[in-house]
Amino acid sequence: MSLFGQTVICGILLGGMYALIAIGMTLIMGVMKIINLAHGALVMVGMYITYVCYKSWGLDPYLGMLIAMPALFLIGCLIQKYMINRLVEVDSILPENQVLLTVGIMLVLTEVARLIFKSDYRSVTTGYSSSTFFVGDMSISVPMTVGFFIAMAFTYLLHLFLTRTDLGRSIRATAQDRNAAVYMGVNAPRVTVITFGIGSALAAAGGSLLLPLFYLWPDIGHLFTAKAFIITILGGMGSTMGAIFGGLTLGIAESLGATYISMGYKDVVGLVIFLFVLLFIPGGFKSLTKR
């Protein structure tokens, strides 16, 4: 029984942090309808900034995160404004151009990181990196728990932002129907720029929370991009609650898969659920709750 409990708890905690990374992507996908393959690379950049803060100034990652987030916000805005927005205006045969542009951006970000930091693995070991506390027989990692709660806090803040502020509502309007939003006076290009910025900042936050637990190298982005997609689809594009749900589902599914099937196939579990949702519940969790 405690094996099951252990598995589920690990899944929930990790899933919560994945969710924070995915929230950025679901926002971006909801508003701009583009598949952002560079999302993982943005997480990676955020993690490196936090890492540098730790190495140079001894800043704890939870504090370094507060520096990485604005930095990524800025980078995200710049990318959207000068690169992706250009493509939106252009007429092309296949709209998937934008996706390929994000691939190019991903390559550039990854390689620049590699040039600066080399392919070496970096990690941040803080005093609490390995602390655990026990609930009965189950071992719960302190950084995972802290990360989980911070992730939930950010999600809640985002939710407040989207529902209570004007800007947030503009973002949701643009996500629902871009043209209608423009008619209502929303400055769509500006909204997309800000959304991309916020999405990137949240990605940086999610990555930084993982830094005490995991390690860092330039290619880490790919891992996060894949998870973020799955969560975005599970939850429904553009839905923050959906992202939480998606993250938790993915985390638990992977954990259960690792324990009861095999660690090698754990990613297959996530992918199969992903396909299932894609095919049968295309709106994700969000569409289920709207009924």
Partner 1 sequence: MKRITGIFVAAVMIIGIMVVGGCGGGGAKPQEQAAKKETVKVGVILPLTGSEAMFGAMEKNSMEMAYEELKAAGKTTVGGKEIELKFEDDQSKQDAAKAAAEKLINQDKVAMLSGGYSSANTNVIAGTAQSKGIPFLIVTGSADEITKQGWQWIFRGTAAPASKYTGALWDLMDKVIKPKSVALIYENTDFGTSSAKGFRKVCQDKGINIVFDQAYEKGAIDFKPMLANMKKTNPDVVFAVSYVMDASLITKQMKELDFNTKLFIGGAAGYTMPEFKENAGDASEYVASTTLWIPNVAWKGAADYFKKYKEKYGKEPDYHGAQAYATMYIIADALGRAKDFTPEGIRQALKSTDLMTIMGPIKFEDWEGYTNQDKPTTYVVQWQKGKLEVVWPEEAASAKLVFPVPNWKERK
Partner 2 sequence: MTAKGWLTPTVIAVVALVLPLILRDPYPQHILIMILIWATLGTAWNLLGGYAGQVSFGHAAFFGLGAYSAGLLFFHLKISTWWGLLLGPLVATAVAVPIGLICFRLRGPYFALATLALGEIFRLVFTNWVSFTRGAQGILILSTFPTKVPYYYIALAIWGLAMFTLNRLINSKLGYYFVSIREDQDAAESLGIPTTRYKMYALLPSAFLAGLTGAFYMNYIAFIDPHVVFSLGDISVMVILVVMMGGVANPWGAPVGAAIYIALNEIFRAWLGSANVLAFGILVCLVILFLPNGVMGELGQIRRTAFRQKPAAAGGGQK
Residues at the contact surface with partner 1, assessed by CB under 8 A: 3, 6-7, 10-11, 14, 114, 118-121, 123, 125, 129-130, 132, 134, 139, 141, 210, 213-215, 217, 219, 223, 254-256, 258-259, 262-264, 266-267
Q: 203 with 42: CB under 8 angstroms?
A: yes
Question: What is the closest distance, in whole angstroms, from the C-beta atom of residue 269 to partner 1 in the complex?
Answer: 11
* Cβ closest to partner 1, residue 34 vs residue 204: 204
* Cβ closest to partner 2, residue 148 vs residue 229: 229
* Cβ closest to partner 1, residue 42 vs residue 252: 252
Among partner 1, partner 2, none, the one that 287 touches (CB under a kind-dependent 5 to 8 A) is: none
Question: What is the closest distance, in whole angstroms, from the C-beta atom of residue 29 to partner 1 in the complex?
Answer: 23
CA angle 262, 265, 267 (to 5 degrees): 125
Among partner 1, partner 2, none, the one that 229 touches (CB under a kind-dependent 5 to 8 A) is: partner 2
Among partner 2, partner 1, none, the one that 259 touches (CB under a kind-dependent 5 to 8 A) is: partner 1
| Residue 218 C-alpha from the chain's centroid | 17
Q: Whole-angstrom Cα distance, residue 15 to residue 204?
A: 16
User: Which of 7, 6, 19, 10 has the alpha carbon at shortest distance from 224?
Assistant: 19
* Cβ closest to partner 2, residue 53 vs residue 250: 250
Question: What is the closest distance, in whole angstroms, from the C-beta atom of residue 45 to partner 2 in the complex?
Answer: 14
Q: Three-state secondary structure along 229-281? A: HHHHHHHCCCCHHHHHHHHHHHHHHHHHHHHHCCHHHHHHHHHHHHHHHHHHC
* Cβ closest to partner 2, residue 152 vs residue 256: 256
Q: Is 91 helix (H, G, I), strand (E, B) or coil?
A: coil
Question: What is the closest distance, in whole angstroms, from the C-beta atom of residue 83 to partner 1 in the complex?
Answer: 24
Determine how many CB atoms are found less than 10 A away from the CB of residue 83. 15
Question: What is the closest distance, in whole angstroms, from the C-beta atom of residue 80 to partner 1 in the complex?
Answer: 29
Question: What is the closest distance, in whole angstroms, from the C-beta atom of residue 268 to partner 1 in the complex?
Answer: 10
Can you spell out the DSSP letters for 4-42? HHHHHHHHHHHHHHHHHHHHHHHHHHHHH----TTHHHH
Residues that bind partner 2 (CB under 8 A): 29, 33-35, 37, 83, 86-87, 90-97, 99-101, 103-108, 110-112, 114-115, 222, 226, 229-230, 233, 262, 264-265, 267-268, 271-272, 274-275, 278-279, 282
Among partner 1, partner 2, none, the one that 96 touches (CB under a kind-dependent 5 to 8 A) is: partner 2
Q: 126 with 60: CB under 8 angstroms?
A: yes
Identity of the residue numbered 198: I
Among partner 1, partner 2, none, the one that 14 touches (CB under a kind-dependent 5 to 8 A) is: partner 1
| Residue 286 C-alpha from the chain's centroid | 17
